[in-house]
Structure 1
Amino acid sequence: MTVEEAVAEADARIRRETRFAHTEHLVVVHGDRTVAAHAYGERALHEPGDVYSVTKSVLSTLIGCAVHDDRLHLDATVAALLGGAVPEAFREVSVRHLLTMTGGTDPSGPYDIDAVMALPAGWTNTLLTAPRLARPGTRFRYDNGAAHLLAACLQRALGEEDLEAYAVRRLFAPLGITRRHWPRDPEGVPYGFGHLRLAPPDLVALARLWLAAGVAPEGHRLFSAAYAAEATRAHTAGGPPEGVGYGYLWWVTELAGRPAYFAGGYAGQHVVVVPSLDLITVTTGAEAALRPGWRPALDLVPGIVAAAAGAAGSEVGKPL
């Protein structure tokens, strides 16, 4: 099966099967070629939408930029960055621990991000009161609050420069991203955990940047190749919600036998990168259209990867 045939099959299933009915977009880029760019609902391809937890991988990208700019160090602690009376549970937690979600504190109950978002103020201070469940660096727990604390740490490390302004200067503008919306908490910190609004082509641009190990389209390096490699390798075996390994706010796995990594968000938001095949897939979904038994269009991506791998294999041994 060719890549085009595999993509056509995925497209047909999205249109036919009710479990994929919430899917808004399917974009497939193979090398320099856009194989497909489908919009299924009312949202046009270039219209920004909520990418949910894909925001975390955008934040990881900005952390890489700040490290490259020598404005942040991965072993800096939350206490050193946020200062003040950071509780004992967070004294040893570092930027690297937050990136890998191994901070060891409790992300449930009053520290669950939905509970924190209901507060009129003090989100960061509330998250800092979460009790310790494990020593930092020893156990993965998916933690939206940790991602928001990471955003607060980066905001503090940037000093006078606002985090979103830094994102525009160092990431969005170099990638040609002009339409976006990034909500902020009551203290003005952009959400680290979710709800950034971007369009599918913007997600493709983000994926291309990672495929290029931090080099933007105009040739400027935004973050180091070493950071790209560390961010996209599994530091732990991970766990729910995706059930695969975890890097620096990127999920790490294999698809059709090929190493891959992806950004994932609720309701079917996935940005998948398969470096060995120069392959990117972007799928999005509408939360309001979710039905019982729904599945993310990510389920269809392994078939596309397998076809691309087969095509790559067929090139081996061809006469010159």
Structure 2
Amino acid sequence: MVRRFALLLVLGILVAGKAQAQAWEDVNPAVAGWSAERLEAVRQQSRTLKPTALMIIQDGRAIARWGDTSHKVNMASVRKSLLSALYGSAVAEGRIDLSASLAELRIDDNTPSLTAEEKAATVRDLLMSRSGIYHPAAHETADIKRKRPARGSHPPGSFWFYNNWDFNVLGTIYRQETGEDIFVSFENRIAGPIGMEDFSAKDGRYALEKASEHPPYPIRLSARDAARFGQLFLYDGKWGTKQVIPASWIRESTTAYSWAKRIRQGYGYMWWTLPEDTWGPNAFYASGYGGQIIAVVPSKRLVVVQTVDLNQNPNGVRTSAFIDLLKEIALASP
């Protein structure tokens, strides 16, 4: 009897740590003050892009959605923003030190291995994509390979380059320092507590390649689950009464430390930021190849998610096309 009670107690604790999955509440856009005419124009514009799904969330309710919002797709580089969220808790709990160097963490790579100068890069440098380490990386696009600076051309912390090596090594560091699998950790620490409907740890995998010993960690999400993740960030990391991610980390990770001048956007800790003069303060988004987007616009209390299954739409959707669509959504909102 005692053993049975203890087992039930443990199960109760595990269940208590997770929010029950709940469907999004739909609201009549006109009643919420939206322009029906502009919103219909957004719908038509979106359909020409052929996303798998698009969701518009305001004040925690679904203003509009179309496509299959339960269909899980590879979120590509959105994985980086998901990992950034996990870092927030790990840093707050003292399990990861942002000032720790790669030398201190015993991080190296395949031949040609890292130099002493490269090993001076810190975890924070990697989060900002400023490591100065231009070792070949897994999951690099041909464009990034072509543009990758020469080894040793920039000291750690001095130069921003969108660098898959940094992002992949952050996955290695997370697993090494916390002792947790990334996908199990995301399920237990984020997906469960915020009531994601579709995600399980089986939706992630590690993609090993010969170029580097540090694998990327592709992950699949549905649009309705991605919207919950965006809403968590809009809520400053809080879901109900539970602080899932420290509010200070939400602000720190979505602050621009570098600028991609060509597109007038900033880069934080694996999040893109949007210019304040157009979007109001603290707007940001996660972006993945092919049109995977989680956008958060606090000035409008908006979360907008787009997913694209590249098996159904091989051309995908350009990020610039989504940003144009996001502008129209903002104009349609009250």
TM-score by structure 1 length? 0.79
Tell me which of 267, 272, 282 is aligned to 1:246: 267
Change (3 A) 1:14 1:94: same
1:43-90 CA-partner distances (Å, limit 9, x unpaired): x31121111111110010011121122211211222222357853243
Tell me which of 58, 61, 74 is aligned to 2:85: 61
Change (3 A) 1:235 1:3: farther
Q: Is 1:261 paired with 2:287? A: no
CA distance in 1, matches of 2:118, 2:171: 15
Letter in 2 for 1:138: S
Change (3 A) 1:209 1:3: farther
Aligned pairs for 1:120-139 within 5 A:
131-139=151-159
Number of residues of Structure 1 aligned to a counterpart in Structure 2: 281
Corresponding residue of 1:48: 72
Conserved? CA contact 1:213–1:228, under 8 Å: yes
CA distance in 2, matches of 1:81, 1:172: 28
The alignment partner of 2:204 has SS state of: coil
Conserved? CA contact 2:284–2:295, under 8 Å: yes
TM-score by structure 2 length? 0.75
Change (3 A) 1:96 1:292: closer
Q: Is 1:73 paired with 2:97? A: yes
Tell me which of 294, 306, 326 is aligned to 1:301: 326
Conserved? CA contact 2:57–2:304, under 8 Å: yes
Aligned pairs for 1:97-176 within 5 A:
97-106=125-134, 110-111=136-137, 113-114=139-140, 131-159=151-179, 161-176=180-195
Deviation at 1:234, TM superposition (A): 0.6
CA distance in 2, matches of 1:164, 1:212: 23
Corresponding residue of 2:234: 211
Aligned pairs for 1:230-245 within 5 A:
230-238=252-260, 244-245=265-266
The alignment partner of 1:150 has SS state of: helix
1:72-116 CA-partner distances (Å, limit 9, x unpaired): 121122222235785324321111111111111226xx4463489
CA distance in 2, matches of 1:190, 1:216: 31
Conserved? CA contact 2:74–2:221, under 8 Å: yes
Corresponding residue of 2:34: 2
CA distance in 1, matches of 2:71, 2:252: 32
1:168-206 CA-partner distances (Å, limit 9, x unpaired): 2211211223524111144997734xx310101111111
- Gap regions ≥5 residues in structure 1: 117-129, 312-320
CA distance in 1, matches of 2:316, 2:74: 21
Change (3 A) 1:97 1:38: same
The alignment partner of 2:305 has SS state of: strand
Aligned-residue CA RMSD in angstroms?
Answer: 2.8
Conserved? CA contact 2:100–2:122, under 8 Å: yes
Letter in 1 for 2:188: R
Change (3 A) 1:182 1:165: same
1:215-250 CA-partner distances (Å, limit 9, x unpaired): 123x2212222111111111111367x651101110
Corresponding residue of 2:24: none
Deviation at 1:163, TM superposition (A): 3.0
- Gap regions ≥5 residues in structure 2: 1-32, 143-149
Conserved? CA contact 1:213–1:225, under 8 Å: yes
